[in-house]
C-alpha cells in the first residue's frame, strides 16, 4: 500500500492490505462482468448523493446499473450507530442490471459502526474490499478510538481487505467542512477505480449541483479530481466493466421520479397528496415541475382530504391522482369506495412500505396487495396494477389514467420502496399525444340521457361532467338508480353492483396473457408481481444455466388478472409464488394445511384457479436477493 496510508496509521501492527501489483509495480486492470459497490455513512454525509452520481456516470459510460438507497428511519439517527447506516448500493454490470444483487464487492464507509451494520446483516461478500475513514483511529475520545481499532481487527480477521483512508484529512485543503465534502472525493476515487471517464464524472457533478452556486460546483469538482488523483497514486488495482452502450438514448431516474414523469405524460392536471414515506419524493419532484405544464400539486391537510380532493377534481374535470403509502392508503379506503360507487375515474399510487401500522416506513414490502384489491367496505371493484421496473412506473401511470377514464374506475398503481428509490436506465420515452386525456366534454347532453345508464353487456356508463347543459344530476355514495337518485329498490341495487363488477370483466377481455420468462413448460414456475421481477428473473437465469427447468411469470395486472394464467401454470410441475409479504412456514410446529396463511398472490391464485400453488415470502425490509431465490429453486429442483 501507499506511503500516504501507512504514514497516517499509528498502529504499526495493522497489516498491509495485499493489493495486487504486477512484477514491475504497475497498476493491474481487472475486467469484471459486474460489481456491487456500497457507500455507507451517518446521515447527512452525502453518501446517497455520491452513490446516485456514481450510478448516473456508470449509465453514461454505457454500463448496466441499478442503485438502491440505504435509508435509516430517522432524519438524524445517532452518529456512529450500527442501525444508522445511510447510503447507497450501486450494482454495475456489463449487461442490463435489474436488481441490487447479492453481496457487496467494494464498500466505502465513513465510520466503522455503520459498516458493522452492513457486515452484521450479511451484506458483504467474503473478501470484500473496504475503504474505511481512518480518522477515528486517533480520535480524542479513547472509547471511539478503541471501538474503531477493535472493529478494524474484526474486519481483518473476517478476511476483508481493509484499506484505511484519511478522507477528511485529504479533503481539508480543498473545503472548509470536509465532513460534507468527502462524498465527492469518494466519487473521484471510485470513478478512477472503475476506470470511468472523468469528463463524464465532471459533467455529472455539475448536473448534481446545478442548483448551487459556482463556488460550490468548483469545490466539488476539485474534490472529485483529488479523489481520482489519490486513487491513481495509491491504488495498485483498477477495474474495468465493459460497456454495452445502448443504441438509443436512456433516462436514469428512480421509481418515484418515474411515477412523477408518468403523471406529467398522462395529461393529468391535479395531484393531491399528503406527505408520507416512501411516496413523498414522487410528489417532491412533481411539485418542482408540474406547474410548468399547467399542473397543480395540492398538499392537503390529511390523506383523506388528499383523496377526496382528487375525487372532486376528477368528478368536475379530468382524472386526478393521489400518491401515498400504506398508512395513507388505509385512510383513503372509504373515499376510494366513494369513487367506486359514483364511478369517478381516479388514479391512486400506493408506494408500499413495511406494515402493519407504522411498520417500517423506509423499508420495502409487498404487503398491501389484498387490502388494495379487496379494501373499502362492501363490494368495491377497482383495477390494480403493479409496476415491476423503473420504466414500468412511468408507463403504468399513463395506462392507469387511460383505464380510469375509459371505464370510470379507480385504478391503483402499486409500487414499493424498492422501486421508489432505485435507479435503472431505460429507453427515453417518446412523447405521444395519445397519452393525454381529451379536453373536458362540455357539449349539451341529449335529453333523456341517464348518468348511470349501465350497458347491460359491459357495465359501462357515459360520463357526464358538470358544466354540460341538460346533464344535471346528483351523484351519491348511496345506492342509486340509473338517474343517480337514491335507490330504495333492492333490484336496482343488485343491478348496479353487477354493472360495476362487470366493468372488470370487460377490461379483462382486453388484456394479454403475461409473458413467460424461460421455457413455456418445465418443472417449476415462479409467479411474482411488482419489484421482485429483476431478482426472480436473474435467479431463473442462473438456475437455467445450471440446467434446471425453471421459468417465471410476472403479473402486471392483479385485478383483473390477465387471461391465460391457469394455462401457463398447468404446464409446470410446481408453481411457487415468491413475494415480499408474509406467509406461514409449513415447518413451523403450529402450522398445518388447515391454518397456513399463504402469501397474498398465492392466496388469490389458489382461490381463483384451484391449483395447488405454494408460496415463499420474506419480510426483511430489504429487496429479496437473486441468490436467495436461486437457492430456493435449487432446493426444489436439484
- Binding to another protein, residues 223-252 (CB under 8 A): 243, 245-252
- Minimum Å gap between C-beta 635 and another protein is 40
> Could you tell me which of 356, 361, 359 has the C-alpha nearest to residue 73?
361
- Minimum Å gap between C-beta 251 and another protein is 4
Alpha-carbon distance 307 to 329, whole Å?
Answer: 9
Per CB under 8 A, does 467 bind another protein?
A: yes
Per CB under 8 A, does 120 bind another protein?
A: no
**Beta-strand relationship, 34-41 and 86-93:** antiparallel
Mark the segment that binds another protein (CB under 8 A) among 163-171, 213-221, 477-485, 574-582.
477-485
Q: What angle do CA 469, 474, 480 make, to 5 degrees?
A: 130
Do residues 363 and 417 touch, judged by C-beta distance below 8 A? yes
Per CB under 8 A, does 217 bind another protein?
A: no
Pick from 131, 152, 315, 598 the residue near another protein by CB under 8 A: 315
- Minimum Å gap between C-beta 337 and another protein is 8
Please give the grid coordinates belonging to residue 37.
Answer: 459497490
Per CB under 8 A, does 425 bind another protein?
A: yes
- Minimum Å gap between C-beta 564 and another protein is 34
Mark the segment that binds another protein (CB under 8 A) among 192-200, 230-238, 364-372, 500-508.
192-200
Q: Which is nearer to another protein, 304 or 620 (CB)?
A: 304
Mark the segment that binds another protein (CB under 8 A) among 45-53, 91-99, 313-321, 454-462.
313-321
Pick from 281, 314, 324, 389 the residue near another protein by CB under 8 A: 314
Please give the grid coordinates belonging to residue 379.
Answer: 363490494
Alpha-carbon distance 213 to 210, whole Å?
Answer: 8
Per CB under 8 A, does 216 bind another protein?
A: no
Q: For residues 57-76, which are near another protein according to CB under 8 A?
A: 59-62
Do residues 131 and 163 touch, judged by C-beta distance below 8 A? yes
Do residues 623 and 572 touch, judged by C-beta distance below 8 A? no
Number of residues written out for the chain: 638
Mark the segment that binds another protein (CB under 8 A) among 4-12, 100-108, 317-325, 576-584.
317-325
Q: For residues 319-338, which are near another protein according to CB under 8 A?
A: 320, 334-335, 338
Distance of CA 608 to the CA centre of its chain: 29
Do residues 585 and 591 touch, judged by C-beta distance below 8 A? yes
Q: For residues 426-455, which are near another protein according to CB under 8 A?
A: 428-429, 431, 433, 436
Mark the segment that binds another protein (CB under 8 A) among 136-144, 158-166, 268-276, 596-604.
268-276
Per CB under 8 A, does 312 bind another protein?
A: yes
What is the total count of residues that contact another protein (CB under 8 A)? 81
* 138 Cβ contact partners less than 8 Å away, ≥ 6 residues apart: 10, 145
Pick from 51, 100, 227, 267 the residue near another protein by CB under 8 A: 267
Q: Which is nearer to another protein, 237 or 246 (CB)?
A: 246
Instruction: Output the CA–CA distances (angstroms, integers) from residue 162 to 19, 133, 158, 377, 447, in the order listed.
Output: 10, 10, 10, 57, 80
First to last CA, the chain: 44
Do residues 415 and 530 touch, judged by C-beta distance below 8 A? yes
DSSP state of 41: E
- Minimum Å gap between C-beta 289 and another protein is 6
Do residues 515 and 565 touch, judged by C-beta distance below 8 A? no
Pick from 5, 304, 406, 591 the residue near another protein by CB under 8 A: 304
Alpha-carbon distance 14 to 148, whole Å?
Answer: 12
Alpha-carbon distance 200 to 230, whole Å?
Answer: 18
Pick from 253, 282, 398, 526 the residue near another protein by CB under 8 A: 253
Per CB under 8 A, does 479 bind another protein?
A: no
Alpha-carbon distance 128 to 159, whole Å?
Answer: 8
Annotate 404-440 with b (16+ C-beta within 10 A) or e (fewer).
bbbbbbbbbbbbbbbbbbbbbbbeebeeeeebbbeee
Do residues 141 and 74 touch, judged by C-beta distance below 8 A? no
Q: Which is nearer to another protein, 206 or 571 (CB)?
A: 206
Count Cα neighbours of 363 within 13 Å in the Cβ-side half-sphere.
Answer: 20
Pick from 4, 81, 138, 468 the residue near another protein by CB under 8 A: 468
Mark the segment that binds another protein (CB under 8 A) among 36-44, 108-116, 150-158, 467-475.
467-475
Q: For residues 353-382, which are near another protein according to CB under 8 A?
A: none
Instruction: Output the CA–CA distances (angstroms, integers) from residue 32 to 91, 168, 197, 260, 280, in the order listed.
Output: 12, 30, 17, 35, 37
Pick from 11, 33, 150, 302 the residue near another protein by CB under 8 A: 302
What is the pattern of x (binds another protein, CB under 8 A) and - over residues 491-530?
A: ----------------------------------------
Q: Which is nearer to another protein, 252 or 526 (CB)?
A: 252
Pick from 26, 199, 211, 377 the residue near another protein by CB under 8 A: 199
Mark the segment that binds another protein (CB under 8 A) among 21-29, 119-127, 316-324, 378-386.
316-324
Beta-bridge partner residues of 36: 91
Q: What is the DSSP string of 485-517?
A: PBP--HHHHHHHHHHHHHHHHHHHTTPPPPPEE
- Minimum Å gap between C-beta 265 and another protein is 5
Mark the segment that binds another protein (CB under 8 A) among 263-271, 455-463, 496-504, 609-617.
263-271
Alpha-carbon distance 54 to 36, whole Å?
Answer: 12
Per CB under 8 A, does 200 bind another protein?
A: yes
Pick from 316, 505, 611, 638 the residue near another protein by CB under 8 A: 316
- Minimum Å gap between C-beta 210 and another protein is 6
The dihedral through the CA atoms of 354, 350, 280, 251 has a sign that is: positive
Pick from 318, 554, 556, 636 the residue near another protein by CB under 8 A: 318
Mark the segment that binds another protein (CB under 8 A) among 5-13, 68-76, 284-292, 545-553.
284-292
Pick from 3, 12, 157, 301 the residue near another protein by CB under 8 A: 301
Do residues 83 and 77 touch, judged by C-beta distance below 8 A? yes
Q: Which is nearer to another protein, 134 or 192 (CB)?
A: 192
Q: For residues 534-593, which are near another protein according to CB under 8 A?
A: none
Pick from 218, 450, 463, 485 the residue near another protein by CB under 8 A: 485
- Minimum Å gap between C-beta 467 and another protein is 6
Amino acid at each position: 500500500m501507499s506511503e500516504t496510508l501507512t504514514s497516517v496509521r499509528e498502529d504499526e501492527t495493522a497489516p498491509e492490505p495485499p493489493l495486487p501489483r504486477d512484477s514491475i509495480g504497475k497498476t493491474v486492470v481487472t475486467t469484471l462482468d459486474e460489481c456491487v459497490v456500497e457507500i455507507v455513512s451517518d446521515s447527512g454525509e452525502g453518501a446517497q448523493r455520491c452513490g446516485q452520481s456514481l450510478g448516473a456516470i456508470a449509465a453514461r459510460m454505457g454500463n448496466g446499473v441499478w442503485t438502491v438507497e440505504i435509508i435509516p428511519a430517522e432524519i438524524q439517527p445517532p452518529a456512529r450507530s450500527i442501525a444508522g447506516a445511510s447510503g447507497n448500493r450501486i450494482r454495475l454490470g456489463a449487461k442490463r442490471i435489474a436488481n441490487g444483487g447479492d453481496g457487496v464487492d467494494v464498500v466505502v464507509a465513513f465510520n466503522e459502526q455503520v459498516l458493522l451494520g452492513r457486515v452484521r446483516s450479511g451484506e458483504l461478500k467474503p473478501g470484500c474490499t473496504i475503504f474505511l475513514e481512518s480518522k477515528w483511529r486517533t480520535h480524542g475520545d479513547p472509547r471511539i478510538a478503541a471501538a474503531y481499532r477493535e472493529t478494524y481487527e474484526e474486519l481483518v480477521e473476517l478476511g476483508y481487505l481493509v484499506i484505511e483512508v484519511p478522507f477528511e484529512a485529504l479533503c481539508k485543503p480543498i473545503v472548509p467542512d470536509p465532513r460534507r465534502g468527502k462524498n465527492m472525493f469518494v466519487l473521484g476515487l471510485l470513478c478512477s477505480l472503475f476506470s470511468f471517464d472523468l469528463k463524464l464524472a465532471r459533467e455529472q457533478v455539475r448536473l448534481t449541483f446545478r442548483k448551487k452556486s459556482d463556488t460550490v460546483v468548483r469545490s466539488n469538482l476539485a474534490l472529485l479530481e483529488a479523489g481520482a488523483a489519490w486513487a491513481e497514486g495509491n491504488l495498485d488495482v483498477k477495474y474495468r466493466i465493459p460497456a454495452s452502450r445502448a443504441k438509443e438514448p436512456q433516462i436514469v431516474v428512480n421509481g418515484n421520479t418515474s411515477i412523477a414523469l408518468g403523471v406529467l405524460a398522462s395529461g393529468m392536471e391535479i395531484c393531491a397528496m399528503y406527505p408520507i414515506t416512501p411516496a413523498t419524493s414522487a410528489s417532491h419532484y412533481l411539485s418542482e415541475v408540474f406547474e410548468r405544464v399547467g399542473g397543480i400539486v395540492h398538499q392537503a391537510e390529511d390523506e383523506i382530504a388528499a383523496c377526496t380532493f382528487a375525487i372532486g377534481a376528477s368528478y368536475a374535470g379530468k382524472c386526478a391522482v393521489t400518491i401515498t403509502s400504506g398508512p395513507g392508503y388505509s385512510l383513503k379506503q372509504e373515499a376510494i369506495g366513494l369513487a367506486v360507487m359514483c364511478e369517478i375515474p381516479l388514479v391512486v399510487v400506493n408506494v408500499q412500505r413495511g406494515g402493519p401500522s407504522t411498520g417500517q416506513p423506509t423499508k420495502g414490502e409487498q404487503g398491501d396487495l389484498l387490502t388494495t384489491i379487496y379494501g373499502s367496505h362492501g363490494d368495491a371493484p377497482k383495477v390494480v396494477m403493479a409496476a415491476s421496473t423503473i420504466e414500468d412506473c412511468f408507463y403504468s401511470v399513463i395506462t392507469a389514467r387511460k383505464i380510469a377514464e375509459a371505464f370510470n374506475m379507480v385504478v391503483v398503481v402499486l409500487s414499493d420502496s424498492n422501486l421508489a428509490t432505485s435507479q435503472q436506465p431505460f429507453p427515453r420515452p417518446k412523447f405521444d399525444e395519445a397519452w393525454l386525456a381529451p379536453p373536458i366534454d362540455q357539449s349539451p347532453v341529449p335529453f333523456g340521457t341517464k348518468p348511470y345508464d349501465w350497458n347491460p353487456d359491459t357495465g359501462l356508463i357515459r360520463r357526464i361532467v358538470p358544466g354540460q347543459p341538460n346533464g344535471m344530476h346528483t351523484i351519491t355514495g348511496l345506492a342509486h338508480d340509473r338517474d343517480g337518485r337514491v335507490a330504495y329498490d333492492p333490484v336496482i341495487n343488485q343491478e348496479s353492483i353487477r354493472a360495476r363488477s362487470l366493468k372488470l370483466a370487460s377490461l379483462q377481455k382486453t388484456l394479454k396473457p403475461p409473458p413467460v420468462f424461460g421455457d413455456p413448460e418445465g418443472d417449476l414456475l415462479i409467479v411474482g408481481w411488482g419489484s421482485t421481477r429483476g431478482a426472480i428473473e436473474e435467479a431463473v437465469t442462473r438456475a437455467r444455466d445450471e440446467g434446471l427447468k425453471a421459468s417465471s411469470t410476472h403479473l402486471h395486472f392483479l385485478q383483473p388478472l390477465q387471461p391465460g394464467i391457469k394455462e401457463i401454470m398447468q404446464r409446470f410441475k410446481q408453481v411457487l409464488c415468491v413475494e415480499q409479504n408474509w406467509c406461514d412456514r409449513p415447518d413451523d410446529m403450529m402450522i398445518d394445511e388447515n391454518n397456513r396463511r399463504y402469501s397474498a398472490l398465492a392466496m388469490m391464485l389458489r382461490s381463483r384457479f384451484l391449483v395447488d400453488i405454494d408460496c415463499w415470502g420474506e419480510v426483511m425490509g430489504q429487496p429479496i436477493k437473486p441468490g436467495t431465490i436461486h437457492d430456493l429453486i435449487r432446493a426444489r429442483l436439484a
